[in-house]
Chains A and B, each alone.
Chain A
């Protein structure tokens, strides 16, 4: 499964808007995801797997308690095969922002079809 699909599968059931890269809607509580991909499991001149460095950003208003949703996000990611996350606080004047970082590995890349 691609990283984007895995993120959607994990996070959509939480009931918040989930957008890749940037959110352009008007909700105050939402999730934005992004990733960079690195080749992994090199062999035979190929990267035989893809390793994704994933960020999941949880935005919410200042006075709202984030703990329950943060737990649910972490559990949902773990259930979908993401690694155990690190969470950084990146708040701004516009509200709370939690950056959840983890990895995802997508193996078995078939270069014969590229």
Chain B
């Protein structure tokens, strides 16, 4: 009669339990690193596509930033966004809105979808940054036993 057995299942079980409890400071570091890489990707892609605000000398690509990591029930997240706004006379326009108009265009203005392209082109490189930090933590944790 054939016999199938698993040895060390309790160790596998323990490993998955640990994986579900990645410390917040490690998660935070991974998110921060990925958001930084995301910022760089959006900036590089924007530069290559000629993204700019034609009505201002301030370059909106210099205004890309990311929020601090925020905790959620299932993990956490960071937002990569455009900070600040442009004031012209009495009108104030958020840099995020200028970026949106660049991304989708408007009547008489060609779209420059730099945010989507950055995500598609550099998505793997961005997630690699976070995976490296989580991977290092895993190796360190499991080597400690």
A residues near B (Cβ < 8 Å) are 21-24, 32, 34, 36, 38, 53, 55, 57, 59, 88, 90, 92, 94-95, 97, 99, 101
How many A-B residue contacts, CB cutoff 8 Å? 50
B113 A36 Cβ-Cβ under 8 A: yes
Q: For A53, what are the chain B residues with a Cβ–Cβ distance below 8 Å?
A: 113, 116-117, 120
Known contacts A24-B108, A34-B111, A99-B111; can you find 12 more A-B pairs with CB under 8 A?
Answer: A22-B109, A22-B110, A23-B108, A32-B111, A34-B110, A38-B121, A55-B113, A59-B107, A90-B101, A92-B106, A94-B107, A99-B105
Q: Once the chains are docked, how many angstroms separate the CA of A99 from the CA of B113?
A: 11
Q: Is the CB of B100 closer than 8 A to any CB of chain A?
A: yes
Q: Of A34, A38, A94, A101, which is within 8 A of B106 by CB?
A: A94
Q: Of B105, B107, B120, which is within 8 A of A34 by CB?
A: B105
For B, the interface residue count at a CB cutoff of 8 angstroms equals: 16
Q: For B24, what are the chain A residues with a Cβ–Cβ distance below 8 Å?
A: none
A90 B106 Cβ-Cβ under 8 A: yes
CB nearest neighbor in B for A90: B104
Known contacts A21-B110, A22-B110; decide if A88 and B104 are in contact (CB<8 Å).
yes
Q: Which of A24, A57, A88 is most buried by chain B, counting CB atoms within 10 A of its CB?
A: A57
Q: For B121, what are the chain A residues with a Cβ–Cβ distance below 8 Å?
A: 38
Q: For B116, what are the chain A residues with a Cβ–Cβ distance below 8 Å?
A: 53, 101
Q: For A32, what are the chain B residues with a Cβ–Cβ distance below 8 Å?
A: 105, 111
Q: For A95, what are the chain B residues with a Cβ–Cβ distance below 8 Å?
A: 107
5 closest Cβ contacts across the A-B interface? A90-B104, A99-B104, A21-B110, A94-B107, A22-B110
Q: Once the chains are docked, how many angstroms separate the CA of A97 from the CA of B106?
A: 8
B107 A55 Cβ-Cβ under 8 A: no
Q: Once the chains are docked, how many angstroms separate the CA of A59 from the CA of B107?
A: 8
Known contacts A36-B113, A53-B113; decide if A22 and B108 are in contact (CB<8 Å).
yes
User: Measured between C-beta atoms, what is the minimum distance from B43 to chain A in Å?
Assistant: 17
Q: Which of B49, B107, B110, B116 is most buried by chain A, counting CB atoms within 10 A of its CB?
A: B107
CB nearest neighbor in A for B109: A22
Q: For B105, what are the chain A residues with a Cβ–Cβ distance below 8 Å?
A: 32, 34, 55, 57, 90, 99
B107 A92 Cβ-Cβ under 8 A: yes
**0 or 1 for each of B71-108: is its CB under 8 Å from A? (1 = yes):** 00000000000000000000000000000110011111
